[in-house]
Structure 1
Amino acid sequence: MTGNRFPFNIPAFRHGINLDLPTPVTFFVGENGSGKSTLLEALAEICGFNPEGGNRDHYREAREDRSELAQALRLSWMPKMTEGFFMRAESFYNFASYLDSVSNFMAYGGKSLHQQSHGESFLALFQHRFEHGLYILDEPEAALSPQRQLAFLRIIHELEVPRHAQFLIATHSPILLAYPGATLYQFEEEGIREVDYHETDHYLITKEFLNGPERILGYLFADEDDN
């Protein structure tokens, strides 16, 4: 899987993609543009989810309609996934509008997602639609306060411990990344490698900032003449 065109020219993909998912919760981490969301979208397509977000009810049947990356990848698992959901923070508004158009928000807590705050609508999805299956989530923390990120971790725990669900999550949140026992893959110039939570830039930068925000901000805003 090589090439000079997108997405095969993304540095993390240049040497191929060969990932094991040994734990029920897997996180993709890395800088913006590192390929996390691109890979998640391709995986969602292969699993039969609409790449714009949703469940298998929005399946695009024709294989040739899949992205080039989705056509190049091969998945294997046991047992085969039949249920789940793909959530993209950036297209969640469109998904909520679709639910309103078909009057299908009763399964999401009985209230239109548009009549809730962004964070409330995200949690409504997580609480009412996450049961058994595979959940592929692209930056679910985008609308969640730190407190609600903790509530989301509880939802993951309630589904993951009895082995009811598997989660693949791309995130920048050091709170979510701390989930116990999760596998973390970092997307880098050299490829994709498994890392420990405490190795991630998300943890290291957040820790350094919280330990001395005045020092970090002073350095960040210093005039060149002061250096």
Structure 2
Amino acid sequence: MNDLLNPYFLRELQISPESHHDRLTYPFNIAAIRNLKTLKFHPKVTYIVGENGMGKSTLLEAIAIASGFNPEGGTRNFQFATRETHSNLHERIRLIRGGAKPRDGFFFRAESYYNVASYIDTLDEEGGFGPPLKNSYGGKSLHEQSHGESFFSAFLNRFGGYGLYILDEPEAALSPIRQMSMLARIHELVKSRSQLIISTHSPILMAYPDSIIYQLSEQGIDKVRLEETDHYVVMKQFMNHKESMLSELFDEE
């Protein structure tokens, strides 16, 4: 495989064997993480999906920190912390890297994106760093944009290509139409030789064809097709049988 055509910045994640003895302590009390030994990344797009509480964000956070990103998100140059809440999983994993080194990168996590936006505003107010950082995010403060606009502004303007992009629930503030636009943006980034690792609940975002989907559950981690994910199955069933499902949900005869 030619690394110039297919960067493969991250090839594989390995967890140290001794970590599996610590089964009663977070995060190894989470079934999917407790049973995880290795995880191979797709050179283009890797999805990590599953129900709430299965460890998706914990795993993605550890990958990001081990890759040199700030735990709350942003680029590798972002140095801030509003609250230390991340686990020590990043200390127990080893990332096997490919032959190429990314020229760009970003760790996006929906739950702390407000803090990233505030940090950017603070740096711009302090000045002395050249052009305002907000120029890389659409030209105005992320706090002056709607939630969805500020998310998509980063995806569209800040992600420059040939990069490693780790995204935790990027669909959180995006409408279905915006999610389809995000899918198109993912394709643009892949064509510019980027690698993406994405945690999501959105069947739309999971639809990128050249990818791997890992589903986390109480039984561990399984490689699945889009149509096999719980998210797709439940959404399809609801849309195709709305009346009967509503009746069941409302406990009506």
User: TM-score if structure 1 supplies the norm length?
Assistant: 0.92
Residue in 1 aligned with 2:170?
140
Q: Establish whether residue 107 from structure 1 lines up as the match of residue 128 from structure 2.
A: no
Moved more, 79-88 or 90-99: 79-88
Q: CA RMSD in A?
A: 1.7
In the alignment of these two chains, the number of paired residues is 219
Residue in 2 aligned with 1:214?
243
Deviation of 1:67 (Å): 4.1
Aligned residue among 116, 119, 141 for 2:148: 119
Q: Deviations over 1:165-205 (max 9, x none)?
A: 11000000011111112100000112111101110010000
Residue in 2 aligned with 1:71?
91
Aligned residue among 18, 25, 32 for 2:52: 32
Distance (Å, rounded) in 2 between the aligned partners of 1:23 and 1:197: 18
**Aligned-partner SS, 1:172:** coil
Residue in 1 aligned with 2:30?
10
Distance (Å, rounded) in 1 between the aligned partners of 2:74 and 2:228: 33
Deviation of 1:9 (Å): 1.1
Mark the runs of 5 or more structure 2 residues left unpaired by the alignment.
1-18, 81-85, 125-132
For 1:120, the aligned partner's letter is: E
| 8 A Cα contact 2:48 2:200, kept in partner | yes
Residue in 1 aligned with 2:78?
58
| 8 A Cα contact 1:27 1:177, kept in partner | yes
Distance (Å, rounded) in 2 between the aligned partners of 1:59 and 1:84: 15
The structure that is strand-richer by fraction is 2
Q: Deviations over 1:14-47 (max 9, x none)?
A: 2233111133101111010101100000011011
Residue in 1 aligned with 2:105?
84
| 8 A Cα contact 1:185 1:195, kept in partner | yes
Moved more, 120-129 or 95-104: 95-104
Deviation of 1:220 (Å): 0.7
Distance (Å, rounded) in 1 between the aligned partners of 2:192 and 2:69: 24
Q: Deviations over 1:133-188 (max 9, x none)?
A: 1100000000000000011111110110242x110000000111111121000001
**Aligned-partner SS, 1:142:** helix
Aligned residue among 144, 153, 157 for 2:183: 153
| 8 A Cα contact 1:87 1:140, kept in partner | yes
The structure that is helix-richer by fraction is 1
Deviation of 1:80 (Å): 3.6
For 1:73, the aligned partner's letter is: I
For 1:134, the aligned partner's letter is: L
For 1:25, the aligned partner's letter is: V
Residue in 2 aligned with 1:63?
none
Mark the runs of 5 or more structure 1 residues left unpaired by the alignment.
61-65
> Which stretches of structure 1, 4 residues or more, deviate above 4 A after TM superposition?
none
User: TM-score if structure 2 supplies the norm length?
Assistant: 0.83
% same residue: 54
Distance (Å, rounded) in 2 between the aligned partners of 1:220 and 1:157: 37
CA 150–191 in structure 1, closer or farther in 2 if over 3 Å, else same: same
Distance (Å, rounded) in 2 between the aligned partners of 1:135 and 1:77: 14
Deviation of 1:49 (Å): 0.4
| 8 A Cα contact 1:23 1:181, kept in partner | no
Aligned residue among 185, 196, 215 for 1:186: 215
| 8 A Cα contact 1:48 1:56, kept in partner | yes
| 8 A Cα contact 2:103 2:163, kept in partner | yes
CA 106–82 in structure 1, closer or farther in 2 if over 3 Å, else same: closer
Distance (Å, rounded) in 1 between the aligned partners of 2:42 and 2:179: 24
**Aligned-partner SS, 2:96:** coil
